[in-house]
Amino acid sequence: MASEDWTTVYSALDVDEKVSAYNSIIIKMLDEFLPEKTIRVHHSDKPWITGNIKTQIKARQKAFSRGDQPRYKQLCEKVANLIAKAKATYYRSKASEFRTSKQSKW
């Protein structure tokens, strides 16, 4: 932030111009340092698979391809735990939906 040129903010005459200049600088910095990531959802993905789980699976596969055995084993356990928790949460929510819905809709 210190290397950014803030003269457009300081030289703006009214508050609206200052806010607009400030926002454009912040948005530019956010785009540079926190880029938006796209996670693909496939039709074959199970309904409990989240973006976080897919990210961890990708990291696990990267560790495997690099031959990083300790990291791979650690991520295998983490992915298995995340999937188990997500699956349990998914089925719990489905069961509660059935409890609150009318039996005639089943």
Helices vs. strands in the chain: H and E counts, helices first: 4, 0
Q: What is the pLDDT of residues 80-100, one digit of tens each?
A: 999 999 999 999 998 888 888
Q: What is the pLDDT of residues 15-46, one digit of tens each?
A: 998 899 899 888 888 888 877 777 677 778 89
Answer yes or no: pTM beyond 0.85.
no
Give CA separation, 84 vs 38, 39, 40, 94, 105, in Å: 24, 21, 21, 15, 29
Q: CA triplet 85, 60, 37: central angle to 5 degrees?
A: 85
Q: Tell me how far apart the alpha carbons of residues 77 and 4 are, in angstroms, rounded to a whole number.
A: 43
The domain segmentation of the chain, as residue ranges, is 1-36, 51-101
